[in-house]
Amino acid sequence: MIIHISYFYLNYQGCKYFTDTNVKYYYNKYKVKDNYYKIIMILIAGASGLVGKEFCKFLHSKNVNYIGTYNKNIIEGDNMFQIDFSDSTKLECFLLEHNVTCCVFCIVERLTDVCENNWNNIKQTNIQLVHITSYVCNKLNIKFIHLSTDYVFDGSKQPNYPNSLKNPLQNYGISKLISEYRVLTNCEKYCIIRTPVLYSSLSKIHDNAVCLIGKNIMDLRNNKEFIEDNYCIRRPLYIRDLCSFMFDCVNESYNGIFHFYNPYNKFTKYQICNIIGNYLNINVDKIKYNNTKCEGIAPRPYDTQLVDERVNIEKYIFSDFNKTINECFKKLKHPKLDIHNKKEFFIFLDMDGTIIETNKAHYNSYKKVFETYGVPFLNINEWNHIILNDNIDNFLKNVFDEQTINNVKFAKRELLKQESITYTKNSDIFLNFLIKNDFNFCVVTNTNEETVGIFKEKLPLLNNIKQWIYREDYNLPKPSSICYEIAKKKYYNNEKFIIGFEDSMVGYTALKKQTDLIYIYDNESIFKHNDCYLFDDYNQIA
């Protein structure tokens, strides 16, 4: 009887969970026989993912022992471990060492368009890892819970029962169906849970298939029109609602393939766009609807409605979709910048590339200096990559010694005086709006004060900005967040909303630690992979 690491589930009326400090007391009090209890130690494979995060939180709230695993996305915690599930020997040792009684397998590549183009990669994740883990779990008499998908069906007939004909239309569905067969072949104690599309408020928007639908809304560029699917039916399931059923699969004698679904949700992607747009107060007129077919690289089924007569679906509580989707986007919602609510905002503004166009001027000046030293300079694409993702100082250190770098920078500043500097599109109108109406804002730049002085001479409006953080004010350049930390300590007056404007990945990284409300100027790559707004004209802001 192992009591030093586990909580006990006592299988009698009025069952409770007991810690190892009082389990002997209750064991003697109720004189429970050995075959009336079981040790619970749950392993969440893929604790850094959508389902893994939510289920860990759920188990923690229930005071149930669990351990989680991750691969590249590190999770801090004494009960979190980095595990290679492709190594069956190490996996077996790990499961034995931690006395695992149930494995909930949440590792998956779920983006359908990614799966369609990368079969060799996704079969390793979606099939082989499931095969290895389920085989080892069965060998050690560990119950195996596997998350599958409604995409094993082609959507031609509704509803779909667990034993309905399977006919996946794309690589994602095929890989998940094969993984199901591996579990069925390997395991005696198992639950395969098929679900519709999942979403969560714990993860980034671009990591949620449902929330990702709202990304187009957050692209504020006026010249962009989008066609969204108004044909295929989605039946999104909030992962927090799924956790209760997953826990029942762990604890009860459930065995087999089950469907779990929210019977009340039924939307097209276009309808979801409208719900998100209304919540964020963003006009969705630029999003057009397509009523005839589903868009995308991978084919999507029309409607994969799930039903399972063995699951008492009325037993479970389901969250209202409008409330949960609002919860997912809550961190990105704020009122429109307006003179009537100006006291609610504190605003960070990056300078180079965000409010003024200096890229070409910096590049031309450095290139001329390098020519005087007889040293070849970067081409424009190499330059853009460095200033958007790194720091020019790191490049200079690989070319010159410290004294020469100082000389190069001095010569570059002198040449900069000859270059043309302009505002980014309508940023001067936006700056005038902030200055005239006395908004609390600060410019935070990686550029030193002397260079900024050159820009102020060329663009006099910059002289009317009262609050600045220059390169001399902090030790580490962006992507370190120290510049924004200093600006916040110096100028922030406990306003309700902190909004930041950047144009580079180093800037976004620095700003992200201070606020979730980030606007990216004309950089689609950052917008694609991060939670932020995208714009290319300051008239789109205020």
pLDDT exceeds 60 at position 51: yes
User: What's the DSSP call for residue 149?
Assistant: E
218 occurs within a structural domain: no
Same domain, 166 and 313: yes
Report the C-alpha gap between 33 and 25 in whole angstroms: 14
Question: What is the structure's pLDDT at 68?
Answer: 96
Report the C-alpha gap between 112 and 209 in whole angstroms: 10
Question: What is the structure's pLDDT at 261?
Answer: 97
Of 149-153, 213-217, 510-514, 525-529, minimum mean pLDDT range = 213-217
pLDDT exceeds 50 at position 361: yes
Q: How far apart are the first and last CA of the chain?
A: 66
Question: What is the structure's pLDDT at 132?
Answer: 97
Summarised one tens digit per residue, pLDDT across range 52-65 is 999 999 999 999 99
Question: What is the structure's pLDDT at 536?
Answer: 97
Same domain, 12 and 147: no
Report the C-alpha gap between 322 and 279 in whole angstroms: 9
216 occurs within a structural domain: no
pLDDT exceeds 50 at position 201: yes
pLDDT exceeds 90 at position 273: yes
Task: Please give the distance of CA 377 from its chain centroid, rounded to a whole number.
Answer: 37
Per-residue pLDDT band at 292 (split at 50, 70, 90): confident
Same domain, 25 and 62: no
Mean pLDDT for 256-262 is 98
Same domain, 477 and 450: yes
pLDDT exceeds 80 at position 505: yes
Report the C-alpha gap between 336 and 128 in whole angstroms: 49
- Give the total number of structural domains in the chain: 3
Same domain, 246 and 381: no
Q: Tokens standing for 88? A: 């069956």
Per-residue pLDDT band at 88 (split at 50, 70, 90): very high
Same domain, 370 and 475: yes
Share of the chain above pLDDT 70, in %: 92
Mean pLDDT for 63-79 is 91
Per-residue pLDDT band at 203 (split at 50, 70, 90): confident
412 occurs within a structural domain: yes
Mean pLDDT for 15-19 is 38
196 occurs within a structural domain: yes
Query: In terms of residue numbers, what domain contains 15?
Result: 8-35
| Cβ neighbours of 158 (radius 10 Å) | 15
244 occurs within a structural domain: yes
Same domain, 363 and 429: yes
φ, ψ for residue 377 (rounded to 5)?
Answer: -105, 175
pLDDT exceeds 70 at position 7: no
Residues 42 and 250 sit within 8 Å (Cβ to Cβ): yes
Summarised one tens digit per residue, pLDDT across range 312-325 is 999 999 999 999 99
Average pLDDT for the chain: 90
Per-residue pLDDT band at 112 (split at 50, 70, 90): confident
Q: At 225, is the secondary structure helix, strand, or coil?
A: coil
Same domain, 435 and 460: yes
Same domain, 195 and 153: yes
Q: At 199, is the secondary structure helix, strand, or coil?
A: strand
Summarised one tens digit per residue, pLDDT across range 461-480 is 999 999 999 999 999 999 99
Q: Tokens standing for 360? A: 């070409």
Which residues touch 137 (CB under 8 Å, ≥6 apart)? 95, 103, 143, 144, 187
Same domain, 312 and 385: no
Summarised one tens digit per residue, pLDDT across range 364-379 is 999 999 999 999 999 9
121 occurs within a structural domain: yes
**CATH code of 474's domain:** 3.40.50.1000
Radius of gyration of the chain (CA): 28
| Residue owning tokens 């006009």 | 283
Residues 187 and 146 sit within 8 Å (Cβ to Cβ): no
φ, ψ for residue 313 (rounded to 5)?
Answer: -65, -25
Q: Tokens standing for 198? A: 């999942």
Report the C-alpha gap between 152 and 150 in whole angstroms: 5
Nearest-CA neighbor of 139 among 178, 189, 184, 173? 189
Report the C-alpha gap between 107 and 184 in whole angstroms: 18
Question: What is the structure's pLDDT at 19?
Answer: 42
Same domain, 409 and 315: no
Share of the chain above pLDDT 90, in %: 78
Same domain, 259 and 346: no
430 occurs within a structural domain: yes
pLDDT exceeds 80 at position 279: yes
Mean pLDDT for 295-322 is 90
Q: At 230, is the secondary structure helix, strand, or coil?
A: coil
Q: Tokens standing for 155? A: 């959507």
327 occurs within a structural domain: no
**CATH code of 110's domain:** 3.40.50.720
Beta strands in 225-377 (DSSP E): 226-229, 237-238, 256-259, 287-290, 345-349, 356-357
Indicate the helix (H) or strand (E) that contains 408. Answer: helix 402-416
